[in-house]
Structure 1
Amino acid sequence: MSTDSFGAKGTIQAGGSEHEIFRLSAVEGAERLPFSLKVLLENLLRTEDGANVTADHIRALANWDPSAEPDTEIQFTPARVVMQDFTGVPCVVDLATMREAVTELGGDPAKVNPLAPAELVIDHSVIIDVFGRPDAFERNVDFEYQRNKERYQFLRWGQGAFSEFKVVPPGTGIVHQVNIEHLARVVMTRNGQAYPDTLVGTDSHTTMVNGLGVLGWGVGGIEAEAAMLGQPVSMLIPRVVGFKLTGEIPAGATATDVVLTITEMLRKHGVVGKFVEFYGEGVGAVPLANRATIGNMSPEFGSTAAIFPIDEETVRYLKFTGRPDAQVELVEAYAKEQGLWHDPSREAAYSETLELDLSTVVPSIAGPKRPQDRIALSEAKEAFRGAIVDYVDHGADDPDDAAGAVSSVDESVEETFPASDPASPSAHGNGDGGKPRTAVSAAAGATGRPTKPTLVTTADGTSFELDHGAVVISSITSCTNTSNPSVMLGAALLAKNAVDKGLAVKPWVKTSMAPGSKVVTDYYEKAGLWPYLEKLGYHLVGYGCTTCIGNSGPLAEEISAAVNEADLAVVSVLSGNRNFEGRINPDVKMNYLASPPLVIAYGLAGTMDFDFETQPLGQDTDGNDVFLRDIWPSPQDVQTTIDNSINQAMFTKDYADVFAGDERWRSLPTPEGDTFEWDPESTYVRKPPYFEGMQPEPSPVQDISGARVLAVLGDSVTTDHISPAGSIKEDTPAGQYLREHGVEKRDFNSYGSRRGNHEVMIRGTFANIRLRNLLLDGVSGGYTRDFTQDGGPQAFIYDAAQNYAAQGTPLVVLGGKEYGSGSSRDWAAKGTALLGVKAVIVESYERIHRSNLIGMGVLPLQFPQGESASSLGLDGTETFDISGVTALDEGSTPRTVHVTATKESGEKIEFDATVRIDTPGEADYYRNGGIMQYVLRGMLRS
Structure 2
Amino acid sequence: MNNDIFNIRKKLHTPDGEFGYYSLAELSKQGYDIEKMPFSIRILLENALRNYDDFAVTRENIETILHWKPEASDKDIPFKPARVLMQDFTGVPAVVDIASLRAEVARKGKDPEGINPMIPVDLVIDHSVQVDYFGTEYAYQGNMEKEYTRNRERYQFLKWAQQSFRNFSVVPPGMGICHQVNLEYLSKAVIERDGDIFPDTLVGTDSHTPMVNGIGVVAWGVGGIEAEAAILGQPIYFIMPEVIGLRLSGKLPPGSTATDMVLTIAQLLRNYGVVGKFVEVFGPGLDNLSVPDRATIGNMSPEFGCTVTYFPIDHKTLEYMRQTNRTEKQIKLVEEYCKANMLWREGSESIEYTHVLELDLSTVEPTVAGPKRPQDRISLKDFKPAFINMLHKSFGRTYLEPEEQLVRWAAEGGDAEPDGYIPPMPPETTIEEKEEKGGMKVVSVTVGQEQFMLSDGAVVVAAITSCTNTSNPYVMVGAGLVARKAREFGLDVKPWVKTSLAPGSKVVTDYLEKASLLDDLEAMKFHVVGYGCTSCIGNSGPLPAHIAKAVEEHDLVVASVLSGNRNFEARIHPQIKMNFLMSPMLVVAYAIAGRVDIDLINDPISYDPNMQPVYLKDIWPEDDEIHQTLQAILSPQQFADNYGSIFDGNQIWRDLDIPAEKVYEWDDTSTYIKEAPFFKDLPDQPLPAEDIRNAHALLVLGDSITTDHISPAGAFSELSAAGQYLVNRGVARPDFNSYGSRRGNDEVMVRGTFANVRIRNKLAEKEGGYTRFLPTGEEMTVYDAAAKYRESNIPLVVLAGKEYGSGSSRDWAAKGTFLLGIKAVIAESYERIHRSNLVGMGVLPLQYSGTDAEKLGLTGEETFSISGIADDLVPHKVVEVSATGKDGKHITFKAVVRLDSRIEIEYYRHGGILQYVLRQFLHKS
What TM-score results when the alignment is normalised by the length of structure 1? 0.85
Question: CA offset at residue 616 of structure 1?
Answer: 3.6
Change (3 A) 1:829 1:439: same
Aligned counterpart, 2:465 = 477
Aligned counterpart, 1:935 = 917
Alignment equivalent of 1:724, drawn from 708, 711, 714: 711
Alignment equivalent of 1:202, drawn from 194, 200, 205: 205
Alignment equivalent of 1:457, drawn from 446, 454, 458: 446
Q: Kindly report which structure 2 residues correspond to 1:335-374, keeping only aligned pairs within 5 A, or say none.
A: 335-374=338-377
Change (3 A) 1:440 1:582: farther
Instruction: Give the Cα–Cα distance (whole angstroms) in 2 for the partners of residues 265 and 902 of structure 1.
Output: 42
1:829 aligns with 2:817: no
1:751 aligns with 2:736: no
Question: CA offset at residue 672 of structure 1?
Answer: 2.6
Aligned counterpart, 2:18 = 18
Change (3 A) 1:671 1:348: same
Question: CA offset at residue 607 of structure 1?
Answer: 2.4
Instruction: Give the Cα–Cα distance (whole angstroms) in 1 for the partners of residues 356 and 603 of structure 2.
Output: 41
Contact 2:301 2:307 in 1 (8 A): yes
Once structures 1 and 2 are overlaid, which stretch shifts more, 134-143 or 667-676? 667-676
Q: Kindly report which structure 2 residues correspond to 1:534-549, keeping only aligned pairs within 5 A, or say none.
A: 534-549=522-537
Please tell me the residue identity of whatever aligns with 2:548.
Answer: S
Q: Kindly report which structure 2 residues correspond to 1:39-118, keeping only aligned pairs within 5 A, or say none.
A: 39-66=43-70, 68=71, 70-118=73-121
Question: CA offset at residue 112 of structure 1?
Answer: 1.6
1:152 aligns with 2:155: yes
Change (3 A) 1:261 1:692: closer
Question: CA offset at residue 483 of structure 1?
Answer: 0.7
- Count of aligned positions: 893
Please tell me the residue identity of whatever aligns with 2:456.
Answer: H
Instruction: Give the Cα–Cα distance (whole angstroms) in 1 for the partners of residues 600 and 691 of structure 2.
Output: 69
Contact 1:703 1:882 in 2 (8 A): no
Alignment equivalent of 1:34, drawn from 20, 38, 58: 38
Question: CA offset at residue 577 of structure 1?
Answer: 1.7
What are structure 2's unaligned runs of at least 5 residues?
400-416, 426-430
Instruction: Give the Cα–Cα distance (whole angstroms) in 2 for the partners of residues 535 and 874 of structure 1.
Output: 55
Instruction: Give the Cα–Cα distance (whole angstroms) in 1 for the partners of residues 171 and 364 of structure 2.
Output: 37
* CA displacement 1:825-879 (0-9 Å, x = unmatched): 4234323444456677889877655544443345668899999998999986589
Change (3 A) 1:446 1:57: farther
Aligned counterpart, 1:408 = none
Instruction: Give the Cα–Cα distance (whole angstroms) in 1 for the partners of residues 860 and 442 of structure 2.
Output: 56
* CA displacement 1:23-77 (0-9 Å, x = unmatched): 22315022101111111121222223334433333333233222x2652322222
Instruction: Give the Cα–Cα distance (whole angstroms) in 2 for the partners of residues 704 and 640 of structure 1.
Output: 67
Aligned counterpart, 2:412 = none
Instruction: Give the Cα–Cα distance (whole angstroms) in 2 for the partners of residues 302 and 852 of structure 1.
Output: 16
Give the match's secondary structure for 1:171.
coil
Instruction: Give the Cα–Cα distance (whole angstroms) in 2 for the partners of residues 910 and 884 of structure 1.
Output: 18
1:253 aligns with 2:242: no
Change (3 A) 1:2 1:576: farther
Alignment RMSD, CA only?
A: 4.1
Instruction: Give the Cα–Cα distance (whole angstroms) in 2 for the partners of residues 851 and 913 of structure 1.
Output: 17
* CA displacement 1:424-479 (0-9 Å, x = unmatched): xxxxxxxxx9934212599x9997977684332224x3332233333222221111
Instruction: Give the Cα–Cα distance (whole angstroms) in 2 for the partners of residues 637 and 620 of structure 1.
Output: 23
1:533 aligns with 2:536: no
Once structures 1 and 2 are overlaid, which stretch shifts more, 182-191 or 837-846? 837-846
Change (3 A) 1:867 1:653: closer
Change (3 A) 1:710 1:449: closer
Q: Kindly report which structure 2 residues correspond to 1:681-696, keeping only aligned pairs within 5 A, or say none.
A: 681-694=669-682
Alignment equivalent of 1:645, drawn from 608, 633, 643: 633
Please tell me the residue identity of whatever aligns with 2:487.
Answer: V
Contact 2:489 2:608 in 1 (8 A): yes
Change (3 A) 1:606 1:920: closer
Instruction: Give the Cα–Cα distance (whole angstroms) in 2 for the partners of residues 648 and 481 of structure 1.
Output: 20
Contact 2:883 2:891 in 1 (8 A): yes
Alignment equivalent of 2:904, drawn from 922, 932, 935: 922
Give the match's secondary structure for 1:584.
coil
Aligned counterpart, 1:522 = 510
Question: CA offset at residue 783 of structure 1?
Answer: 4.7
Contact 2:250 2:284 in 1 (8 A): no
Q: Kindly report which structure 2 residues correspond to 1:182-201, keeping only aligned pairs within 5 A, or say none.
A: 182-201=185-204
Change (3 A) 1:571 1:713: closer
Contact 1:241 1:275 in 2 (8 A): yes
* CA displacement 1:607-662 (0-9 Å, x = unmatched): 22333444344556777543332332222221121111111111111111212211
Once structures 1 and 2 are overlaid, which stretch shifts more, 512-521 or 593-602? 593-602
Please tell me the residue identity of whatever aligns with 1:50.
Answer: D
Give the match's secondary structure for 1:260.
helix
Change (3 A) 1:312 1:93: same
Please tell me the residue identity of whatever aligns with 1:10.
Answer: K
Question: CA offset at residue 167 of structure 1?
Answer: 1.5
* CA displacement 1:537-573 (0-9 Å, x = unmatched): 1111111111233322223222333333443333322
Change (3 A) 1:6 1:877: same
Please tell me the residue identity of whatever aligns with 1:709.
Answer: A
Q: Kindly report which structure 2 residues correspond to 1:807-826, keeping only aligned pairs within 5 A, or say none.
A: 811=795, 813=797, 821-823=805-807, 824-826=809-811
Instruction: Give the Cα–Cα distance (whole angstroms) in 1 for the partners of residues 188 and 11 of structure 2.
Output: 19
Aligned counterpart, 1:603 = 591
Please tell me the residue identity of whatever aligns with 1:6.
Answer: F
Instruction: Give the Cα–Cα distance (whole angstroms) in 2 for the partners of residues 765 and 927 of structure 1.
Output: 24
Instruction: Give the Cα–Cα distance (whole angstroms) in 1 for the partners of residues 359 and 240 of structure 2.
Output: 26
Change (3 A) 1:685 1:361: same
Give the match's secondary structure for 1:435.
coil
* CA displacement 1:245-303 (0-9 Å, x = unmatched): 22222222222222222223223333222222111222122111111111112222222
Instruction: Give the Cα–Cα distance (whole angstroms) in 2 for the partners of residues 623 and 80 of structure 1.
Output: 58
Contact 2:493 2:591 in 1 (8 A): yes
Change (3 A) 1:160 1:567: same
Give the match's secondary structure for 1:652.
helix
Please tell me the residue identity of whatever aligns with 2:421.
Answer: R
Once structures 1 and 2 are overlaid, which stretch shifts more, 545-554 or 129-138? 545-554
What TM-score results when the alignment is normalised by the length of structure 2? 0.86
Question: CA offset at residue 900 of structure 1?
Answer: 11
Once structures 1 and 2 are overlaid, which stretch shifts more, 760-769 or 521-530? 760-769
Instruction: Give the Cα–Cα distance (whole angstroms) in 2 for the partners of residues 94 and 827 of structure 1.
Output: 12
Once structures 1 and 2 are overlaid, which stretch shifts more, 79-88 or 558-567? 558-567
Contact 1:8 1:45 in 2 (8 A): no
Alignment equivalent of 2:131, drawn from 121, 128, 148: 128
Change (3 A) 1:109 1:657: farther
Q: Kindly report which structure 2 residues correspond to 1:375-774, keeping only aligned pairs within 5 A, or say none.
A: 375-390=378-393, 393=396, 435-439=419-423, 453-459=442-448, 461-618=449-606, 625-694=613-682, 698-699=684-685, 701-702=687-688, 704=690, 709=695, 711=697, 720=707, 723-725=710-712, 727-728=715-716, 730-731=718-719, 733-765=721-753, 770=759
Instruction: Give the Cα–Cα distance (whole angstroms) in 1 for the partners of residues 864 and 563 of structure 2.
Output: 52
Give the match's secondary structure for 1:753.
helix
Change (3 A) 1:539 1:32: same
Change (3 A) 1:320 1:914: closer
Question: CA offset at residue 731 of structure 1?
Answer: 4.8
Instruction: Give the Cα–Cα distance (whole angstroms) in 2 for the partners of residues 621 and 190 of structure 1.
Output: 63
Aligned counterpart, 2:296 = 293
Change (3 A) 1:648 1:703: closer
Change (3 A) 1:348 1:757: same
Instruction: Give the Cα–Cα distance (whole angstroms) in 1 for the partners of residues 630 and 860 of structure 2.
Output: 66
Instruction: Give the Cα–Cα distance (whole angstroms) in 2 for the partners of residues 874 and 363 of structure 1.
Output: 44
Once structures 1 and 2 are overlaid, which stretch shifts more, 76-85 or 648-657? 76-85
